[in-house]
Chains A and B, each alone.
Chain A
Amino acid sequence: GAGVSQSPSNKVTEKGKDVELRCDPISGHTALYWYRQSLGQGLEFLIYFQGNSAPDKSGLPSDRFSAERTGGSVSTLTIQRTQQEDSAVYLCASSPLLGRQNYEQYFGPGTRLTVT
């Protein structure tokens, strides 16, 4: 079946512009996660959703970052007034219903964001 997809795969934007990154999780997966990975670095947690609600937004680096999820499916991560330090690969992952103790995360291919 289809895995997690993300779009765009690459995005080059000018400093100060807003960008929107999209994640399509595996159908039926309740949990959805956003991470940021800078070159050669680990996975930095940004936010996660259970259904449409976000119990934990503590990882968002600043108020320029926001995310939403609608219909328990697609999620968008928005970065306003982009800065050069926002350049990274943004990874999305989805996971089946946590309450049933099926925790496995499936990652998307990522969006490589470059802010010039």
Chain B
Amino acid sequence: GENVEQHPSTLSVQEGDSAVIKCTYSDSASNYFPWYKQELGKRPQLIIDIRSNVGEKKDQRIAVTLNKTAKHFSLHITETQPEDSAVYFCAALRTGNQFYFGTGTSLTVIP
């Protein structure tokens, strides 16, 4: 089956700086890679996703990059704000299969 590794497990940045979270996956047949944000006591919410036929996708301050050859994908948050503080999860999906989640990154943005 798939194996998704996520780094770092914790990340602290100053407000206004950028944050980068990286994930690697093992199954070359995985073709969909979402990122979820989970605030304390709340449900995970999709913030951005990318499909295997695309190398990069951007939505305002958030971007995701995918390197299929190396089997890794990254979340980039620019101009971080205190409200970006949360736990972020990456995931990988192979069509017709289950989602495999990373172990999460706790991001703290220091005002």
- Report the contact-size class of chain A (Cβ under 8 Å from the partner): 20 to 34
Q: Which of A18-26, A66-74, A78-86, A106-114 contacts B (4 or more CB under 8 A)?
A: A106-114
Tell me how many residues of B have a C-beta within 8 Å of chain A: 22
Closest chain A residue to B42, Cβ basis: A109
Contacting pair A42 B103 (CB below 8 A): yes
- Number of A-B residue pairs, CB cutoff 8 Å, is 47
Tell me which residues across on chain B come within 8 A of A106, comparing CB atoms. 46
Tell me which residues across on chain A come within 8 A of B104, comparing CB atoms. 41-42
Contacting pair B46 A105 (CB below 8 A): yes
- Within 8 Å by CB of B44, from A48, A58, A91, lies A91
Q: Which residues of B contact A (CB under 8 A)?
A: 1, 32, 34, 36, 42-46, 49, 89, 93, 95-104
A-B CB contact pairs (8 Å), 15 listed: A33-B99, A35-B101, A42-B89, A42-B102, A45-B99, A45-B100, A45-B101, A56-B98, A58-B1, A91-B43, A103-B34, A105-B34, A105-B46, A107-B44, A109-B42
